[in-house]
Structures are given as C-alpha cells and as structure tokens.
Chains A and B, each alone.
Chain A
Amino acid sequence: MKNRIVTGLFFLATGLLISLGPTYLFKVCETMGDDFMKCHWTARAEIGIGLLLAVFGVISIAVSSVHIRLGLHMGAGLTAILAASLPTVLIGVCAMPGMNCHAIAAPSILVISLLVIVVSILNSIYLLRQSKKSIQDFDRKSNEASSREEQ
C-alpha cells in the first residue's frame, strides 16, 4: 500500500515536472517571432509525454492489482526513456551550449527521466517478486483446499 502510493505519487510528480518544466520551470529558449527552434518542439512534445507518465502514476495509485501496476511501471520506465531521448536524439535542442535549453532544460529533463527509469526498474523488480509471492500463496492455498476436499 505504502509502495503503491509513494511510487504513484513519484510518477505523478515527475510526469508533471517533465510535462510543465520545459515550458514554465526550467524553460527552453524564448521563441523569436515566427521562428521556432528545436527546443520549442522538444518542450511541446514533453508536455504530452510527461502527462502520460503522470496518468500512469494516477492509475497505479488507484489500482491494487500487482500485475497491472507492474505493467504500468514498466510503461513508465519506457516513457521516461522516450522523454530523455527527445532533447538528445529525436528532436534535440539548440546547438549553442550557453543557451537555456542546452544548459538547463535538456539536462533537467535528462536527470528527471533517469530517476524515473531507475525507480521504475527497481520497483518492477520489487513488484515482480510480490507477484511471484502472491502466485505461490495462491498455489499453496488451492493445494490446501484440494487436500482438504480429498480428505
């Protein structure tokens, strides 16, 4: 229960941060006139990806099934990989190192995504163990029940 809430809130918070950060917090470069730079599109794309991550977080708080949460957390990890690859590989940011998007926005997205990836891997391992345990418990109970029936 504790794990469910803590990880759910973590994904919700990091999702919102990835989603809104590049636009409001660790801003990408200002747009000049009609000329949109790479980082502008990266920021736009992160809005969607971050929200997806946040929704994963909300659902995983609401759902008690270990298996569904396992799937959600794996999905969250993969989403974070996508979030990290936007400013680095898929779209990129402005080339000049001194620019906001290069010095602040991109590394921030990268670090947050990395944290999400690490947490989702660790928690997936934890949940995997839990699910195995619950399967074992189930097997044991059904074995006991069947042996009782035999008697």
Chain B
Amino acid sequence: MSQQEQSPKGSKKKLGIITIACCNLKKKAVRTSCLMGLVAVLSFTLFSGLILTTSLRGGMESMRQRLGADFMVVPDGNQAKFEGALLRGEPGTFYFGRDTTKILSDIEGIIKTTPQFFITSLSTDCCSYQVQLIGYEPKTDFVIAPWISGQLKKDLEKGELVVGSKLEHQVGDTLKFFGREYVVAGRLQETGLGFDTSVFMNFDTAENVLDDAKIKGIHYRFNKGDSISAVMVKAEEGYDVSAINNAIVDRLREAGIKADVVASRTIVTTASDHINQFIFYVKVFSVMLWVLAVVLLSVVFTFSVHERKKEIAVLRILGATKGKLLQLIFGEAALIGTGGALVGLSLAFLVLFPFSTLISLTLNLPFVLPPPQRIAFLAMLSFLLTGAAGPAASVSSAYRIVKNEIQATMREGE
C-alpha cells in the first residue's frame, strides 16, 4: 500500500491557525456551546432592545406627526375611553351635542374644527372582532385624510370605507357591519395609533350603520343627526396650550356643555415619558449584560489560557510567532463571538418579527417597526458589538501570553 492511501482521509486539509482554533472549539464542545450561548443571549437582548427602542421612538414620532389635532374635546368623563380608542383602537362609544363643533370654532386662536363619530361594530360582523368605526366629515377633516395612502379620487361617499393599516382588507374588498356590506375605498398609512385598527366612514355611512344596528336591536345612546363623539381642534401656529385649553373649558361651560379637553401635547408627553423610561431600562439592561458577558468571558478565557499554557508553549517551540499565537487566541474568541452573535440574532428575528403584534399589544405603547434597511443596520450593529465581546474579553489573556517567556509557560503548564 502506498503512503498516499495510508494517510487518513481529510488530513489533506490545510492546518492553518483558524483550523486549529476550530479543532480546539470542536473538541471542547460543551465549553464552546456555553460561551456561544452567553454571547447569543447578549446579541439577542441587544438586538431586541435596539428594535424595541427604535420601534417605540418611531411610534412616538409617528404619533407626534399624525395626531393632527392639537386639542380633542370629548363628553365629560370619557377622556380615558377616548385615549384608549385613539392610542390603542379600543372600541368605545360616547356622545354629546353636535353644536359643540360650532361653539369651539368661534374661539379665538382655533383655526379648524372637525367632528368625529364613534361606533363599535358587533364582534360577529365582518371579521369576527369588535372594530372601532369612526365617522368623520371629509369636508372639514384634517386628521384622517393626510394619512390615506395614495389619493382618494374624490371625497369618501356614502357606503365607502377607509381602513386602518393593520386590517388586511384591500381597496375594492367589502366589509359587513350589522348585515350590510360596505366597499373599501382607501387604506390608511401605518400610524402606530389606534387608527391602525379602525375603520373610517363619512357621517352618512355612519348613520346608515346606526340604523342597521337599531334593526338588529342594538341601541346607542345618541340623538340622530345631532350627536357626535369628539371634536378635533387645530389651533394657530405657536399657540399657548393652557390659554386655549382654558378658553375651551370656559366657552363650553357657558354653553352648558360638560366636556373633557385632551391636549395632544399632553398625550405625547405622557407617552414619551413612558417610552423614555422603558428605553432607559432597556439601555441600562443592555449595557449591564454586555459588561457581564465581557467579564464572564474574560474569566473563562483567562482560565482556559492558564490551562492551555503548555499548548501555547508547544506551538511557540514548533515555530509559531507571537502573532500566530494571538491569531489563535483572538481567532477562537472571534469564532465564539460571531457564532454566538449569529445564533442570538437568528433567534431574535424569529421572535421579534413574527410576534411584533403581540409585543406591541403587551407594551401598550405606540409601536412602529423601523424600515428594513434600518433593521439591517441595527442587526449589523448588534452583530459587531456582540461579536467584539469575545475578542475584547481575551485581550488580557492574550497580553499575558505574549509577555511571558516561553519556558516559563511550558513549566506552568506541566
């Protein structure tokens, strides 16, 4: 038999430093998987944290932009319900007189007012869940129309609907409320607000829906033709929140209308406070975890280098330069870092994106996922940061190896 045949299969592979590093990691499978697991947890948390904070920031920004009205006036005692409908699309119904709109539009400093009308659909209709139906006046509206994706050719007509971005119905589809079908004429862009799960129609269509509801035996407490649920108010540029707030309250009191006034700025500020708090915790947690991971990895690497002093001395004796030894140490650390980071990122992708709806529902804050290129950037960033944790943790052990005299290392390794 020739030598060629005798040499074992696979031994022809080049035995570079990275191959040696791979062999070392493979033979110490348990240690390697534990360390990779640690890095995976780190990259998972970091990436999830980045996506969550970016989504929440995006949600808040979107809310700031898309909350077209500066003030919202709703019937007395219904502020919480209204905010639920506005921010989370929680169905709610409450009504007061239509003349409120007129009274408010007369106040100095207010330039636009438009009424909205809220109805809750029956859960057995259309999509088997309760939907907030919002009637609006296309003629005076300045809240809904700017966010209808594409342009409606004409104003919304009777029997036509605009649906929020999270409803799956496309233009031309029909939706059924209280036994009657309506046509989708437009879709809203994503807002991160309750609008995303709401359905919009003009007042005529809304009255139609109410009539059908009555036939089905459902009575809403309102006066036909006279009731609305909220008035959206736009104030002049550079308005004084408290001045206009007071003016609204005074004027409505004079008119004998009991109402709550909700200032957009207050809602935005409250939400942004919550979000900033959340982001702060995420940041602190991520930094702590990174430090913890680097410390833990450092300890493990230091121990393992101690344990492997002989191996390192042998390599040195066989003619490995100090550079090659560093390659080995950093190579192993980098393999652990990148491997772990990839695992963590894949898991994060598997959890974050399919379950994004569940996450946003649980957080109960405006939530808009960033665009794909931003996600890619954040993934890259967390990959680099966590991948670097391995090499960063092995700096001190590498330094010690390079500094030591070889003989000393050989002896210590014995």
* Residue contact B127 to A96, C-beta cutoff 8 Å: yes
Contact of B358 among A32, A33, A103, A114 (CB under 8 A): A103
Q: Which of B169, B357, B358 contacts A95 (CB 8 A)?
A: B169
Closest residue of chain B to A32 (Cβ to Cβ) is: B124
**Which residues of chain B have C-beta atoms less than 8 A from A98's C-beta?**
89, 129, 197, 357, 361
- With A95-B167, A114-B350 already in contact, the answer to whether A35 and B357 are too (CB < 8 A) is no
What is the CB-to-nearest-CB distance from A132 to chain B, in angstroms, rounded to a whole number?
Answer: 13
Interface core residue of B128, B166, B168 (most chain A CB under 10 Å)? B128
A103 touches B355 (CB 8 A): yes
CA distance A104 to B354 in the complex (A): 9
A104: chain B residues at CB < 8 Å are: 355, 358
In the complex the two chains form, what is the Cα distance from A35 to B128 in whole Å?
Answer: 9
Nearest CB in chain A to that of B90: its residue: A98
Residues of A within 8 A of B196 (CB): 97
CA distance A106 to B361 in the complex (A): 15
Partner among B131, B354, B355 whose Cβ is within 8 Å of the Cβ of A96: B131
A97-B357 contact, Cβ under 8 Å, with A32-B123, A111-B350, A114-B350: yes
Q: Closest B-chain residue to A107, C-beta based? A: B354
Q: Which residues of A contact B166 (CB under 8 A)?
A: 96-97
Measured in the bound complex, the distance between the Cα atoms of B361 and A134 in whole Å is 53
Number of interface residues of B (CB under 8 A): 20
Per-residue CB contact flags for chain A residues 31-49 toward chain B (1 = under 8 Å, else 0) read: 0110101000000000000
Encoded as 1 (CB less than 8 Å from any A CB) or 0, chain B from 181 to 210 comes to 000000000000000110000000000000
- Interface size counted on chain A using CB atoms at 8 A: 21
B8 to chain A, nearest CB (A): 14
Residues in A with CB closer than 8 Å to B123 are: 32
Residues from 342 to 381 in B contacting A, C-beta threshold 8 Å: 350-351, 354-355, 357-358, 361
B258 to chain A, nearest CB (A): 32
Bound complex: CA A121 to CA B143 (Å): 50
A110 at the interface (CB under 8 A from B): yes
Inside 8 A of A103's CB, which chain B residues have their CB? Answer: 355, 357-358, 361
Q: How far is the CA of A59 from the CA of B351 in the complex (A)?
A: 30
Bound-complex Cα distance A114 to B357 (A)? 19
Cβ contact within 8 Å between A94 and B357: no
8 nearest A-B residue pairs (beta carbon) = A107-B354, A95-B168, A97-B166, A103-B358, A96-B129, A103-B357, A97-B357, A95-B127
Interface residues of B (CB under 8 A from A): 89, 123-124, 127-129, 131, 166-169, 196-197, 350-351, 354-355, 357-358, 361
- Additional pairs, 13, CB under 8 Å, beyond known A97-B196, A97-B197, A103-B357: A29-B128, A32-B123, A94-B127, A95-B167, A96-B166, A96-B167, A96-B197, A97-B166, A98-B129, A103-B358, A107-B355, A111-B350, A114-B350
25 pairs across A/B with beta carbons < 8 Å? Answer: A32-B123, A32-B128, A35-B124, A35-B128, A37-B128, A94-B128, A95-B127, A95-B167, A95-B168, A95-B169, A96-B166, A96-B167, A97-B166, A97-B196, A97-B357, A98-B129, A98-B197, A103-B357, A104-B358, A107-B354, A107-B355, A108-B354, A111-B350, A111-B351, A115-B350
